[in-house]
Amino acid sequence: MTYDVIALACEQLSYRDKLRLAQLLIQTARKEEETANPQNRVEANPVAKNSKAQETPSTENIDDIEYIVERLLKLKPTKKKSLTNSIKSMFQFQGGISEKDIIKVISKLQKCKVIKLEQNNVSYL
């Protein structure tokens, strides 16, 4: 069977069947590539993790801090744990944020006198 024959046959399918077929083709192609080139896959993962780490937002960026302040003033988490979870959720679609960066953000917020931490309670200034 050639590509042209399959393409002509696909024209007769409904759009849902076309989407299901596309998903199946992608899955089988990925699986075939993984079995054919396992060494490339193993080497590619650490590079992807390093690039994600580089993509994480800088805590020194003014726009990030302003965004965090704006969101926190709406959310107003009262416990330290909920504060850290709120900050994590703000960056979950941008590759995540490390615990060190969260601590830096919290200390930056304290220096800017946006929040005050007493024991495990958060108060807003």
| Tens digits of residue pLDDT in 40-76 | 554 444 444 444 444 444 445 666 788 888 888 898 9
Flag whether the pTM goes above 0.75: no
**Top-level class of domain 56-124:** mainly alpha
- Partnered with residue 121 across adjacent β-strands are 79, 118
Tokens of 100: 């060190």
Domain boundaries defined on the chain = 3-54, 56-124
Helix (DSSP H) and strand (DSSP E) numbers for the chain:
6, 2
- Per-residue pLDDT tens over the stretch 69-120: 888 889 898 899 999 998 888 888 777 888 888 888 889 989 988 888 898 8
CA distances, 78 to each of 14, 63, 81, 92 (Å): 52, 24, 9, 21
